[in-house]
Amino acid sequence: MLTLENKVALITGGTRGIGLAIAKLFKNLGAKVIITGRNEERLKELEKENFLCYKCDISNKEEVDRVIKDILEKMNKIDILVNNAGITKDALFLRMKDEDFEEVVKVNLLGTFYVTRRVLPSMVRQKYGRIINMSSVVGLMGNIGQANYASTKSALIGFTKSLAKEYGRKNILINNVAPGFIETDMTAKIPEKLREEILNKIPLKRYGKPEEVANLVAFLASDLNTYITGQTILIDGGLY
């Protein structure tokens, strides 16, 4: 039976889309769920739903250190970490501004590094942990106008594999989930003509739902998963 009873789970970027779907499912499965995000208004709304919420820019390592320290003081442990926070700053490569490339790297890659580095010691001490990094099918297949985003999502594959090798002996399982095109605020910005082109390339002939990604993440985060680590698992309707 899939359950997260007595688990403490931290989800970055959990105020909307895939992150929020994961947070809600985790809570329904019995976990104590902590959400970080940058939208203070949304965080206040989610606190009313019994989530522990923190405003946190994960690209700011001092802010990450402060927030994780406070979480550990309150909860004593973090069993599950979902590195979901991410941004896009799309443009054709030769039109892409330096700051747009750099900001995507800071949030998607460095932010994941900062949070993971701060959470891992507590998992090592308890000899238990589940870390799920949120990559993207774009990190495997590339995408026009997303050289920055694709680079960071591809980098998470190597990041995941390396940490899985380092910390497997401590019973910490670390995996990478790579969603395809999922119905979120991010994909809603795709022009209609391009949406149709993408749809034609997906064998299942539809965009995915955040809840479908959440189901996969929940399995990887649970004690039903005892032997999967270092993997990148696509959930893309057969696109790639």
Number of domains in the chain: 1
Average pLDDT, the chain: 96
3 in any annotated domain: no
Range of weakest confidence among 31-35, 92-96, 181-185, 221-225: 181-185
> What's the whole-number mean pLDDT along residues 60-86?
98
1 in any annotated domain: no
Q: Which of 54, 114, 128, 149 is catalytic?
A: 149
CA atoms within 13 A of residue 171's CA, in its CB half-sphere: 10
Number of H helices, E strands in the chain: 10, 7
The pLDDT of residue 187 is 77
Verify whether residue 149 is a known catalytic residue: yes
> What's the whole-number mean pLDDT along residues 142-152?
96
> What's the whole-number mean pLDDT along residues 101-112?
98
141 in any annotated domain: yes
2 in any annotated domain: no
Q: What DSSP designation does 239 have?
A: -
Percent of the chain with pLDDT over 70: 100
Is 184's pLDDT higher than 90?
Answer: no
The pLDDT of residue 195 is 84
For residues 194 and 68, which has the higher predicted lDDT (pLDDT)? Answer: 68
- Within 8 A by CB and 6+ apart from 18, the residues are 84, 134, 179, 182, 184, 210, 213, 214
240 in any annotated domain: no
Residue with tokens 């979901």: 84
Q: Could you tell me the residue range of the domain that residue 28 belongs to?
A: 8-235
DSSP SS3 for 161: helix
**CATH number of the domain encompassing residue 192:** 3.40.50.720
Is 222's pLDDT higher than 90?
Answer: yes
12 in any annotated domain: yes
> What's the whole-number mean pLDDT along residues 21-47?
97
Is 70's pLDDT higher than 90?
Answer: yes
Is 189's pLDDT higher than 80?
Answer: no
